[in-house]
Homo-oligomer: A and B are copies of this chain.
Amino acid sequence: METALPKFDSVFSIDCVIFGFEAGELKILLIERNEEPFKDWFALPGYIVEQDESIDDGAKRILYELTGLRNMPIKQLHTFGDVNRHPQGRVVTIAYFALIRISGQKDLTPITQYAKKAFWHPVKDLPKLAFDHTTIFETAFRRIRRRLNYQPIAFDLLPEKFTLTQLQSLYEVIQDKKLDKRNFRKKMLSYGFLKELSEKQKGVSYRAAKLYKFDRRKYNKIFQNELNIQTTE
């Protein structure tokens, strides 16, 4: 079943790399395609932008329609415009990315027929993806690895209340290296933007850890100088 693209003159599309963290693993959101080309392949959620919507709005809409996720805080990543990246014609794609909290309740139900399903897949052992989506993913992954060093993106991936060990293991997964527990905790707490809660972890068969919250207001106050420079992208 061939589904022709509406126009081959300079069509542009959106593709989204959505990161999540679950069961100690970094994951991204994939769909199984229900359309040619690459029907039945796994792909990043993506589709063609409408004429009367901004690319930012289009990205939000497309992500919603393919995965059921609304109002995700996506940001632009990079634009991919090789001539032959799409087998049916010229499609320039603008890639977006986001780091979000995976919560069990959110059901990933595509609204459109273009995707059979949407699901989380570990970034380790990603299958071959449709189009140039593997390249797009790699670009996104490099970006967040770098960004982890100077922006508080880890907290977007964690549950609202988390332990320092969870935070550390997230850093370790993204950077793919072990960190020293004492140094990590000392440094994180020294910033002053973590709020210690009176609650403790529950349901573990060992000493329960304290829970913390990320205090974004304090973070902004502390880093407002740097943020003036960093605000974009």
Contacts and interface: CB of A to CB of B under 8 A. Distances in A.
A83 to B, nearest CB: 5
Contacts of A51: 9-10, 90
A92 to B, nearest CB: 6
A78 interface: yes
A55 B92 contact: yes
Nearest to A233: B78
A51 B91 CA distance: 10
A60 to B, nearest CB: 13
Interface residues of A, number: 32
Nearest to A226: B146
Contacts of A142: 229, 231-232
Interface in A9-63: 9-12, 49, 51-56, 58
Given A10-B9, A11-B10, A79 B82 contact: no
A163 interface: no
Given A10-B51, A52-B90, A142-B232, 4 more contacts: A49-B81, A52-B83, A78-B233, A143-B233
Interface of A: 7, 9-12, 49, 51-56, 58, 76, 78-79, 81-83, 90, 92, 94, 139, 142-143, 145-146, 229-233
